[in-house]
Amino acid sequence: MTTTRMDGRIERGNQTRRLILQRAVSIASVEGLEGLSLGRLASELQLSKSGVFALFGSKVELQLATVRTAITIYIEHVVRPARELPAGIGQVWRLCANWLTYSEQRVFPGGCFFYSVTAEYDAREGRVHDAVTKAHGNWFALVEQTINEAREAGEVREDTDVPQLAFELIAMLETANAESVLHDNFTCYQKATNGVRNRLRSVATQPALLTDFA
């Protein structure tokens, strides 16, 4: 019976933690990670502040847990569906298209979570800055890796400057996100889609392959 009660207590704690972090990523995408506080989350979710503090211990730990949660959500919506495809130009395209959909559909209410918190923490120091920087770097590395794999598959030209191409693709994605959030104008997503497709056609060994992707 003691084990059963302990297991039930742990599961309730895990459920509460998930509830808090779900709210935390939504707040942070709009107001930044500095907008988070243990007291605010306890009040909004009608939880005891001491209980929330027991789960996270400090604001910094809450912020770090929020970043980790956002990474999990990001992978689920952007990365995993693309990486399930075979290496090639279509996989590069799908990675970019997934990103635009993730931003446009407001998986996070403030647009791309990482675009927001990167701007917030780019000139700071500390553990939260390091976590955000690592997530940002991993995204750039993944885009470059996906392009390299497409080149190895013979679908991207050998002379392609991979870091430059990755930079340009990400710049178009992030500009669409910023424009839509700032101006509440979603026509920028089609512009970004057209730009990404045209840029990929310019490096594709068989540009016609991209006509197969909506």
Q: Rounded to whole angstroms, how far apart are CA atoms 22 and 141?
A: 27
Q: Rounded to whole angstroms, how far apart are CA atoms 25 and 125?
A: 21
pLDDT digits (tens, 9 = 90+) for 141-164: 999 999 999 999 999 999 999 999
Q: Which two tokens stand for residue 139?
A: 């995204």
> Who's near 156: CB < 8 A, 6+ residues apart?
89, 92, 147, 150, 203, 204, 205
Query: Is the pLDDT reported for residue 11 higher than 90?
Result: no
Query: Is the pLDDT reported for residue 12 higher than 80?
Result: no
Categorize the per-residue pLDDT at 9 as very low, low, confident or very high, splitting at 50, 70 and 90.
low
pLDDT at 6 (0 to 100): 53
In the chain the domains, ranked by start, together with CATH numbers, are 60-212 (1.10.357.10)
Q: Of 205, 195, 199, 101, nearest to 150 (Cα)?
A: 205
How many other CB atoms sit within 10 Å of the CB of residue 169?
Answer: 24
Query: Is the pLDDT reported for residue 46 higher than 70?
Result: yes
> Who's near 169: CB < 8 A, 6+ residues apart?
92, 96, 143, 196, 199, 200
Residues above pLDDT 70, as percent of the chain = 93
Q: Which two tokens stand for residue 148?
A: 């390299």
pLDDT digits (tens, 9 = 90+) for 77-109: 999 999 999 999 999 999 999 999 999 999 999
pTM (2 d.p.): 0.90
Instruction: Report the chain's mean pLDDT, rounded to a whole number.
Output: 93
- Positive or negative: CA dihedral 71, 72, 73, 74: positive
